[in-house]
């Protein structure tokens, strides 16, 4: 089991990725799922893995996903991306200015980005550009080594004044088959 905050977050990200991969396998069945439904599915799987995970916990507001281990706390915000990056920005702001303190026991967080549009890589690239244009204090961005579509952003946390790292995690839910049998069974 993780003894340090860094170990806790590292293992958590590996497990969240495993859950995301499962969610992505059947996007045709998730086309009508809202943010809460998708996030509760992630929360439930984390709980089955032994995590103290919760949805809609009160931590500076109602967080989409909170995961605790002792005094360690990781908070995740979830958004369905449609076309405007302003909605994702609102989630970023909720996570970094309302929910998290940025203290040493919660210096990381995450944004789950549910994407039903095609070309997830381009969407994530534009999201990185959007964040860069916000001129956040001490902002930096780096790719995730364990999942190529995810990335990390770091900026000076407004409340703590310390570096706060956010992992941006896409969940690919685009579904638009081009084959005849796929088109006729889209709602399967």
pLDDT tens readout for residues 130-169: 999 999 999 999 999 999 999 999 999 999 999 999 999 9
pLDDT, position 48: 97
Surface-to-core class of residue 20, CB atoms within 10 Å of its CB (0-12 exposed, 13-18 middle, 19+ buried): buried
pLDDT at 97 over 80: yes
Provide mean pLDDT across the span 10-38: 96
Q: pTM of the full predicted structure?
A: 0.94
Q: What share of the chain is helix, strand, coil (3-state, %, to 5)?
A: 40, 25, 35
Answer whether 24's CB lies under 8 Å from 33's CB: no
pLDDT, position 38: 98
Q: What residues contact 50, with CB distance under 8 A and at least 6 apart?
A: none
pLDDT, position 46: 98
**Digit-coded pLDDT (tens) for 100-127:** 999 999 999 999 999 999 999 999 999 9
pLDDT, position 2: 75
pLDDT above 70 coverage of the chain, percent: 96
pLDDT, position 140: 97
pLDDT at 186 over 80: no
Q: Which long-range contacts (CB under 8 A, 24 or more apart) does 89-98 make?
A: 89/130, 89/134, 92/131, 92/166, 94/61, 95/166, 96/155, 96/157, 96/158, 96/164, 96/166, 97/158, 97/159, 98/60, 98/61
Q: Where are the domains of the chain?
A: 5-184
Surface-to-core class of residue 154, CB atoms within 10 Å of its CB (0-12 exposed, 13-18 middle, 19+ buried): middle
């Amino acid at each position: 089991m993780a003894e340090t905050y860094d170990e806790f977050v590292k293992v958590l990200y590996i497990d969240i990725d495993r859950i995301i991969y499962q969610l992505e396998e059947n996007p045709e069945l998730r086309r009508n799922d809202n943010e809460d439904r998708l996030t509760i599915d992630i929360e439930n799987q984390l709980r089955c893995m032994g995590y103290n995970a919760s949805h809609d916990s009160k931590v500076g507001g109602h967080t989409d996903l909170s995961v605790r281990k002792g005094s360690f706390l990781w908070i995740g915000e979830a958004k369905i991306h449609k076309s405007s990056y302003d909605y994702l920005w609102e989630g970023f702001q909720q996570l970094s200015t309302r929910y998290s303190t940025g203290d040493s026991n919660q210096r990381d967080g995450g944004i789950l980005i549910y994407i039903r549009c095609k070309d997830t890589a381009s969407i994530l690239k534009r999201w990185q550009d959007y964040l860069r244009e916000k001129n956040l204090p001490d902002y930096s961005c780096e790719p995730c080594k364990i999942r190529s579509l995810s990335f990390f952003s770091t900026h000076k946390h407004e409340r703590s004044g310390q570096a706060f790292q956010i992992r941006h995690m896409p969940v690919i839910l685009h579904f638009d088959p081009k084959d005849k049998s796929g088109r006729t069974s889209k709602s399967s």
